[in-house]
Structure 1
Amino acid sequence: MTEIGKYFLFLGHLLTNRESFKTYYNLVMEECVSIGLGSVFLVALVATFMGAVTTVQTAYNMVSDLIPDYVISQVAREMIVLELAPTIIAVIFAGKVGSAMASGLGTMRITEQIDALEVMGINSISYLVLPKIIASLVMYPVLVIIAGVCAMVGGYLAGTLTGVITPNDYIYGLRSGYNEFTVIFALIKSVVFAFLVSSISSYKGYNTQGGALEVGVSSTKAVTSSVIAILVSDYLLAQLLLGK
């Protein structure tokens, strides 16, 4: 409970003694490039194979002749949009971006760069952490959209090239029974996950104490805590928005 209290106090300092808009704009743009462009290849690669495996395994489990083939892509679509694209990519996001945030801030802490900012009268939490959170809130939903598209393309290629489903059936299944709220739900989850990963990772890195060894420990704790927060919030959001 003490750690949770410190985390919320940490968040409270984000909006106090802020810098100018131009300063934040430049910092946010730099973080967007680092977070978005630095992750897009990995996200696209993982999502493509994730969609391919989902389609092939779904087809493998459709053992009844009474089930039409287009159900394969329909099931794959729901799995990709509702869970795989926002949640699995969030775990990768935590491992790549979250650990980088924690290690970067941890290094600044042990080299006393954060202390230097405080001496100059700058709110180091707002100056260093707020741009990372804003950039994550902007870029991670974009990464989720890219992941969803790549996963469906990967499913299309795997399904048609292996002969488990025809191209027409795959496209028909993607369109069949489409509920636009699933996309909205995925984007809501992506915003929540982006905030949790960026804020928790920044908190762990900012509060690093010790030397170079503790930077690695903080990075590991950041990823572990972020993944736990993702899984817990994933269930809570599903229960809140989809539960009856």
Structure 2
Amino acid sequence: MNYLSAIGSYAIMVREVFKKPTKWAIMRNLILKEIDELIFGSLGIIIFISIFIGGVVAIQTALNLTNPLIPKNLIGFATRQSVILEFAPTFTSIIMAGKVGSYITSSIGTMRVTEQIDALEVMGVNSLNYLVFPKIIAMLFYPFIVAIAMYVGIFGGWVANVLGNHSSSAEFVEGIKLDFISFHVTYSFIKSVVFAFIIATLPSFHGYYMKGGALDVGKASTVAFVWTSVVIIILNFILTQLLLG
């Protein structure tokens, strides 16, 4: 029953986010602030991790191609498929759940502990709209990060492949072009939009409804990260079955 109650509370929160909107002059600044904090502030770590993930995929694929009859362009093909289908949208989302989700939970949780949310309600402001809606809009730009992760991941695979002398640059590029299905990119972006909504709202839920003092903010952030990651993994399975099954 606790899980059902939590799901019901989450659904109510999401519904309330879109009620009684804050004035656009104020909301615009909040959205721009969240875009800078959640999206641009995450680019560095995403680029860094994507380069090495792509490199590792390329190296592992190359080391497993022991049969001389298997063409070397499969290294580029496997790297492209792995990065586009899974590593860019899903692995990146887990990272964002830790970085962005923890920030969202702790910032809203701190406002709850210090009674700033109560002050917003007293002033007649819809605190959920004021706090959560800008984060949802900002995370709509999340596919932009996923696109960069795709490009950088494949580039990292190319660098590792060439530097490791596993195959020629031409063979790797040939593998990237081999049997390319454009819907795979669309599928990845669809997943990223769904994950973005979860990353924006689920940590907000844990921060907004947290109870206790300052020490409980950290605990709420940890719980939010765990549940956000679990939901992302479950939705990844469901969306993969629906879109590619």
More displaced 10-residue stretch of structure 1: 129-138 or 84-93: 129-138
- TM-score between both structures, scaled by the size of structure 1: 0.98
1:213, CA displacement in angstroms?
1.2
1:23, CA displacement in angstroms?
2.1
- TM-score between both structures, scaled by the size of structure 2: 0.97
Instruction: Find out whether 1:157 has 2:138 as its counterpart.
Output: no
1:158, CA displacement in angstroms?
0.3
Amino-acid identity (%): 40
Which SS does the other structure have where 2:140 is aligned?
helix
1:242, CA displacement in angstroms?
0.4
Gaps in structure 1 of 5+ consecutive residues = none
Q: What RMSD over aligned residues (CA atoms) do the two structures have, in Å?
A: 0.7
1:174, CA displacement in angstroms?
0.6
Instruction: Find out whether 1:43 has 2:59 as its counterpart.
Output: no
Distance 1:237 1:63 in 2: 34
1:153, CA displacement in angstroms?
0.9
For residues 55-97 of structure 1, give each alpha carbon's deviation from its aligned partner in whole angstroms, at most 9, with x where no partner exists: 0001111121121000111011000000000000100000000
1:22, CA displacement in angstroms?
2.6
Counterpart for residue 189 of structure 2: 187
**1:62-211 equivalence runs, <5 A:** 62-138=65-141, 140-211=142-213
Which SS does the other structure have where 2:167 is aligned?
coil
Which SS does the other structure have where 2:190 is aligned?
helix
Counterpart amino acid of residue 222 in structure 2: T
Counterpart for residue 24 of structure 2: 21
Which SS does the other structure have where 1:39 is aligned?
helix
For residues 209-243 of structure 1, give each alpha carbon's deviation from its aligned partner in whole angstroms, at most 9, with x where no partner exists: 11011101110111001000100000000000000
Counterpart amino acid of residue 208 in structure 1: M
Gaps in structure 2 of 5+ consecutive residues = none
- Aligned length, in residue pairs: 242
For residues 114-149 of structure 1, give each alpha carbon's deviation from its aligned partner in whole angstroms, at most 9, with x where no partner exists: 0000000000000111101110122x1111111111
Counterpart amino acid of residue 137 in structure 2: I
Q: Which runs of 4+ in 1 moved over 4 A?
A: none
Distance 2:27 2:167 in 1: 50
1:194, CA displacement in angstroms?
0.6
Distance 2:26 2:175 in 1: 48
